[in-house]
Amino acid sequence: MVKASTMIPESVFSISPNPRFFYVTPSVQAAIAKTQYVVRARQGLTTIIGDVGLGKTSLLRLLYNEYDDSPEFTAAFIVNPKQTSETAFLKAICTEFGVKTKRSQRETEYELRGFLIDEYQAGRNVVLFVDEAQQLKGPMFEQIRQILNFETDETKLINIVLAGQVELRYKLADRSKRALVSRIAVSSTLDALTPEETAGMIDFRCTVAGVKSPFDFEAVQVIYQWSRGIPREVIKLCAISVQYAALNGLKRIPADLVEAASADIVKPTEESGPSSRGTMKEARRA
C-alpha cells in the first residue's frame, strides 16, 4: 500500500523569478520603498545590489510589472546588458521603449530624448530597469550618465534602476564613475535570509499555492544551515526534498531526508562572494 505523498505543486519551489511567489523580507521591503521613492519623485537613478541568488531579478520583475501595468508609467526591462559598445547599449534601450534607432549615436540620443519629452508631456513617468548591471562596461556607464542628463528644470525625464551583484558596487567605486555615482539618489542592498525568514519564505510559498508546508521544524533548520539563507539555494533544496518525499510516500519531510537531498545539489561555497549578513555589510562599507 502506497502512502499519501506531500502533493506539493512543482511551481512552489521553482527557481524561475515568479513575482507571485516572491517573499518580501525587511531588506526587500526597504529596496522596494527606496525604488518607489526615486521613481515617484523622478530622482533619476537608483541601484539594488546583492549577491548571487538573493532575489534581485525577482524584485526587478515585481517592480517592472507594477509600473508596466499602470497607464501613468512607461517601463522597459533590459535582462542582460551584454552589448559590446555604448552605442549598442543605447540602441538596446531604444528598442525596449519602441524608439526608432539611427545610424549614429548622437542621432539615436536625439530620438530617445524626443520620446522622453513626449512621454513627459503626456504625463507618463518613464522607468528603465537593467538587470545584471555588473556586466556593464565603462562606456555604458557614461551612456547612462548622458541619458540622465535628459531633464527639465525641475525633474528627470527618465528613471533608471540598476540591479547587480556586489561587483557592481566595486565598479561604481572607480574614480572614473564619480560623475555617475553623484547622480545615484539612493542605493539598496539585499541581505541573506535569517533562520526566521527562511521558515517564513517556505511557509509563504506554500500558502500562495494553497498547500501546507511539509517541512518539520528541524528540516527547516537544516535547509537554512545548508543554504546560508540564500533564497535560491533554499528553493532548490526544498524542491529536491519534496521529490525525495514523494518517492518515499511521505507527507512530512524530516531533517534526515533534507540532509540526504542536499547531497544531490552543488553546495554554494564561501568563495562565491559575500552572501551572509556580515559579509554584505562589509561590502556595503567598501
255-266 exposure pattern, b = at least 16 Cβ within 10 A, e = fewer: bebbeebbeeee
Task: Determine the pLDDT at residue 266.
Answer: 79
Task: Determine the pLDDT at residue 1.
Answer: 29
Rounded Cα–Cα distance for residues 192 and 134 (Å): 19
Q: Which residue has the cell 567598501?
A: 286
How many residues does this entry show for the chain? 286
Q: Which three cell numbers stand for residue 192?
A: 541573506
CB 15 within 8 A of CB 236: yes
**134: enclosing H helix or E strand:** none
Per-residue pLDDT of the chain (286 residues; tens, 9 = 90+): 233 345 677 789 998 888 899 999 999 999 999 999 999 999 999 999 999 999 999 999 999 999 999 999 999 999 999 998 999 999 999 999 999 999 899 999 999 999 999 999 999 999 999 999 999 998 999 999 999 999 998 899 999 999 999 999 999 999 999 999 999 999 999 999 999 999 999 999 999 999 999 999 999 999 999 999 999 999 999 999 999 999 999 999 999 999 999 998 877 665 444 343 433 333 333 3
Q: Which residue has the cell 551612456?
A: 143
Question: What is this structure's pTM?
Answer: 0.87
Rounded Cα–Cα distance for residues 5 and 251 (Å): 5
Please report, for residues 206, 224, 225, the alpha-carbon distance to residue 196 in angstroms, rounded to integers and kept in the order given. 16, 9, 12
Q: Where are the alpha helices (DSSP H) in 188-254?
A: 195-209, 217-227, 231-247
